[in-house]
Structure 1
Amino acid sequence: MDFPVIKKALFLFCLIPLFTHAQYTDVINSNRPGRAVSAYAVGRNVVQGEMGLLYEQQDNADLNTDSNILGVDFSLRYGLLFETLELNWEGSFITQNVTFTNLGTDERRTDFSRNRLGLKFLIFDPYKNPERSKPNLYSWRANNVFQWKNLIPAVSVYAGATFTLGENPFYVGDPVVAPRAAIATQSRLSPRFVLISNLAYDRIGTDFPELNFAMSITHAFRDPKWSVFLEGQGISSDRYSDVLLRTGVAYLINENFQADFHLGSGFKNSPSRIFTVLGFSYRLDFHKDKLVAISDQKGGKNGKIKKGAAKKKRKKSKKKKKDKLDF
């Protein structure tokens, strides 16, 4: 792998100007259920926690082992400094009970199977242009069916690190810190369908770098509180490779609280995997839109102001001041 190229790419990402506009929403924008993450940040000054209680049955025909896993998936997201920037700590803390069937012995392993910290930055938003977002007032069909322009995705980049602390039994010999880079895209195919894709390169520079790809499609029902999703995830590494399939539902309890459930499985038998996850997402919304006083506005801020409006306001203010002095 050409690491100077990776360094140059990350440097260029840092130089991208902060000109995009994130889509802060009135309702919670959760990455759950599943593992594919949204291209959008949660919004400036929004604190959001996402958690899942997981159970997995895992059997390995090559190693003659049967195991069950209990654990917690978590993600803590914070809208940092800008609408387009998000700080994210995510991971999975699990306990795996392993039975070696040929030996008749048991072993327990407890630690992080994921532990990452990074920054996600939105570099392109197709809905930044208000003209593109306007509904067609003359055609219901144009507003509710697939159009080719809907394939143009929002794009974000991610830079961070994976941490392996102490004597982690799942990643023996890995360094404490390993770089991670990713790209996330999100397309709104129609008012009810959203397509998300992620490409990530993890544990860069270790003996077992990992390439990860995920694609998820979500459909909202007529009752917008309910949605379903289908997700495929591919993992490629000398340590572990597989294709995972997930499906499940999410329910919006209120504008800041979502519950979800999903199940999934792998396609290999070394190991075979079947898992279920019950999750929740909750946000503390301290987001405030930046408003500009009418007299200080320029075209495009809080909408256009009429030509000469600020000038007229200054003249009116001067006249009032003069009248007071004459009195």
Structure 2
Amino acid sequence: MKSKIVLVFLFISAAIYAQEIEPIQADRPDQTETPAIVPIGMFQVEMGFTFQKNDALYKKNSLPTALWKYGVTKNFELRLITEFLSEEIINEKVNGFSPIYIGFKVALTEEDGIVPKTSFIGHIGLPKAASNEYKTDFVFPKFRFVMQHSLSQKMSFSYNLGAEWDGFSPEPTFIYTVTTGYSITEKLGSYIELFGFIPQIQQSNHSFDGGITYLINNNFMLDLSSGIGISENAPKNYIAFGFSYRR
């Protein structure tokens, strides 16, 4: 009898926990990453396939990019990024894994009036953890401060500021993103976004994109997105699709 009571209690507790947990929040498909942290003890993977045309002579595809996350505490998650690249430059093809990134996200502030919900994301690229074609000379970091405001129950405003290095030179490339998200229904979401990369020495590039997400359930989401370059040296266009799943 006691064992039955314990089982009933565990079942009710699990059901309550499942109801309390918020729907999955992912760093894809937009370039703006979310300040949300993966729930404690949960594993989350965000995987996407991107087909990008830089110009008439250069195409770059990610097949796929995968972000692996694990919630350690309420305010801290571990992160791992893997990516398989396929590039075509003047009819010459190069394939392989780009360097693995290891990192973390830590929550800094909750939203309070004009103060946005804010987290910090930091990664380190491992130069030799890659295919020969993509190995770099040095360990290279990248980081972002990620901020989000709730404008209404259906609309949010988010932005990122950060920098990254390429593993070859000491000069950083600064990053900015600005996006507005809108919940069309409880399951269907959308966004539009402006983002750019500003190298310390070379010319900066800026792009515009948008996309939609569809929530299959609280732990599984599909996405579709596309973007265009709005500066002369930005990639001409891209299209991407993927999914995010946690358990």
Asked if the contact 1:84/1:121 (under 8 Å) is kept, the reply is yes
Asked if the contact 1:162/1:203 (under 8 Å) is kept, the reply is no
Q: What count of residue pairs does the alignment treat as equivalent? A: 224
Tell me which protein shows more helix as a share of its residues: 1
The yes-or-no answer on 1:157 pairing with 2:144 is no
Partner of 1:180: 142
Partner of 1:201: 163
Pairing 1:59-98 to 2, within 5 Å after superposition: 59=55, 66-71=57-62, 72-80=64-72, 82-98=73-89
Asked if the contact 2:205/2:233 (under 8 Å) is kept, the reply is no
Higher Cα radius of gyration: 1
* Aligned-partner Cα distance in 1 for 2:26–2:104: 16
* Aligned-partner Cα distance in 2 for 1:278–1:257: 14
Aligned-pair identity in percent equals 22
The yes-or-no answer on 1:34 pairing with 2:22 is no
Distance 1:252 1:201, change over 3 A: same
* Aligned-partner Cα distance in 2 for 1:241–1:170: 23
Asked if the contact 1:198/1:213 (under 8 Å) is kept, the reply is yes
Asked if the contact 2:205/2:232 (under 8 Å) is kept, the reply is no
Tell me which protein shows more strand as a share of its residues: 2
Pairing 1:45-56 to 2, within 5 Å after superposition: 45-56=41-52
> What is the one-letter code of the residue matched to 1:79?
G
> What is the one-letter code of the residue matched to 1:191?
Q
1:164-189: per-residue Cα shift (whole Å, max 9, x none)?
Answer: 33576567xx4341122321111111
Q: TM-score, normalised by structure 1?
A: 0.62
Distance 1:57 1:224, change over 3 A: same
* Aligned-partner Cα distance in 2 for 1:114–1:269: 28
1:31-64: per-residue Cα shift (whole Å, max 9, x none)?
Answer: 22112111121111111011111111221xxxxx
> What is the one-letter code of the residue matched to 2:217?
N
* Aligned-partner Cα distance in 2 for 1:152–1:79: 24
Partner of 1:126: 111
Partner of 1:235: 197
- Stretches of structure 2 lacking an aligned partner (at least 5 in a row): 1-19
> What is the one-letter code of the residue matched to 1:248?
G
* Aligned-partner Cα distance in 2 for 1:51–1:177: 24
Cα RMSD after superposing both structures? 2.4
Asked if the contact 1:162/1:202 (under 8 Å) is kept, the reply is no
* Aligned-partner Cα distance in 2 for 1:69–1:170: 13
1:119-156: per-residue Cα shift (whole Å, max 9, x none)?
Answer: 111111136xxxxxxxxxxxxxxxxxxxxx3x421111
> What is the one-letter code of the residue matched to 2:173?
E
Q: TM-score, normalised by structure 2?
A: 0.81
> What is the one-letter code of the residue matched to 1:155?
T
- Stretches of structure 1 lacking an aligned partner (at least 5 in a row): 1-23, 60-64, 100-105, 128-148, 285-327
* Aligned-partner Cα distance in 2 for 1:225–1:66: 39
The yes-or-no answer on 1:273 pairing with 2:236 is yes
